[in-house]
Chain A
Amino acid sequence: MAIVTNAQSQWQFTCGLEVDFGSEENASIIYATLAIDKELQPDKVKRQMKVSEGKLSVNFEATEARFLRASFSAFVDVLILATKTIEEFGQGIEL
């Protein structure tokens, strides 16, 4: 029991976001792109992602607020980059 309580309090800083891509294909591309890079400090920050109905849901858990902020901020930067890349090159450019 003690361990469970410890484990719960250790990951007390959490944060989530959901992005609706309106397309299962695009959401899956983003998922596959971002899932490759693991969290750099898995003992301090955990990240879980899933895709359903064209939506990407991401959940962060961290041991301290500053780790949560750093991971979340870096993640949002690359999420935006990946999304912009799809917007720019997904359609319009003739294959």
Chain B
Amino acid sequence: MNKKMIALGFEGSANKIGVGVVTLDGTILSNPRHTYITPPGQGFLPRETAQHHLQHIIPLVKSALETAQITPKEIDCICYTKGPGMGAPLQVSAIVVRVLSQLWKKPIVAVNHCVAHIEMGRIVTGADDPVVLYVSGGNTQVIAYSEGRYRIFGETIDIAVGNCLDRFARVLTLSNDPSPGYNIEQLAKKGEKFIDLPYVVKGMDVSFSGILSYIEATAIEKLKTNECTPADLCYSLQETLFAMLVEITERAMAHCDTKDVLIVGGVGCNERLQEMMRTMCSERGGRLFATDDRYCIDNGAMIAYTGLLEFAHGASTPLEDTTFTQRFRTDEVKAIWREANIQKI
């Protein structure tokens, strides 16, 4: 009875493959991951990314178990990302999890990637019921919990904010190591001149694709004539995109009457975004909760932890239902572990 519940979690929905071991109180026993880094100017494609995951997943499982110093016997459930994400990379985790579940006779829990980011952010920062800004290379959503589910208050109507940044990094042929967004952030610190860009907030939603097209065209033109530097462009792009995100987050806060904000997802490690959001929160008398790259960026532990929460509340996924899906919205998941909290109070 005193034994802590332990979960093994697999994440591989984009260009990171990660395996994590966690306990129900959120302690991370191990969380190794490997990132598929493409040459400057190139993005990652599903097939090549899946090949990367195929090569690294088994060593990562071994490493996760060794670091955590556990045997398969001690694991209570095996969790994997069901979606959203790229199909072929998602399949790699699903296959390994199905085999391990049968070999070790352990139940499986399918996890929504977005919900996993939120739960990881909540346990790491201690934010109880914040408005969540989930920003990454594939997703941009403003989320708040209401009546059993994480509801999407606002989101991008085209590409994700991280995708906009990544693709602009390709235009400038910045390195993708450790990530294109990180290199944009570093370059933006040297920017001096602000270049006006379109600002596209539509109610609670945002749009980035037009801004990307605009800055792509502007970059080629203005860099040629030396009207600005690549650093100026990075700075202007960040300021514009993040201002839009802060605006829709602030509106969601007013709507939910919540003062706390939690930023999760890969773009969430951007310190400039955190700074802008912190300013807005403090003006409203609230707090900003954010994490660093260990938890913000996709990892296995967040999947393990979220799956374990579900498992501890009686849910698991039968083997024949352990599919994966490219589209899986945040509000499709019943957050049963949060309902249980309400009953306790």
Contact = CB atoms under 8 A, between A and B. Distances in A.
B92 A32 contact: no
Interface string B23-56: 0000000000000000000000000001100100
A34 B61 CA distance: 20
A84 interface: yes
B71 A33 contact: no
B93 to A, nearest CB: 10
B102 A29 contact: yes
A81 B61 CA distance: 13
A93 B102 contact: no
A3 B87 CA distance: 35
What does DSSP make chain B's interface, helix, strand, loop or mixed?
Answer: helix
A93 B66 CA distance: 11
B61 A78 contact: no
Contact of A36 (B51, B54, B100, B319): B319
Given A36-B94, A36-B323, A78-B95, 16 more contacts: A29-B103, A32-B319, A37-B91, A77-B50, A77-B51, A78-B91, A82-B95, A82-B96, A85-B99, A89-B99, A89-B100, A93-B71, A94-B73, A95-B72, A95-B73, A95-B104
A30 to B, nearest CB: 8
Interface string A16-50: 00000000000001101110110000000000000
Interface string A35-77: 0110000000000000000000000000000000000001001
B302 interface: no
B57 interface: yes
A15 interface: no
B99 A37 contact: no
Q: Which 10 A-B pairs have the closest CB atoms?
A: A85-B99, A33-B98, A29-B102, A78-B95, A95-B73, A82-B99, A85-B96, A81-B95, A33-B99, A82-B95
B88 interface: yes
A94 to B, nearest CB: 6
Contacts of A80: 54
B183 interface: no
A86 interface: yes
Given A85-B100, A90-B103, A36 B322 contact: yes
Given A81-B92, A90-B103, A94-B73, A37 B323 contact: yes
Given A29-B102, A37-B91, A81-B54, A88 B323 contact: no
Interface in B317-340: 319-320, 322-323
A36 B99 contact: no
A81 B89 CA distance: 13
B62 interface: yes
A78 B91 CA distance: 8
Nearest to B319: A32
Contacts of B58: 84-85, 88
Given A84-B58, A93-B72, A95-B71, A33 B95 contact: yes
Contacts of A89: 61, 72, 99-100, 103-104
Contacts of A95: 71-73, 104
10 contacts: A36-B98, A36-B319, A37-B323, A77-B51, A77-B54, A78-B91, A89-B99, A89-B104, A93-B71, A93-B72
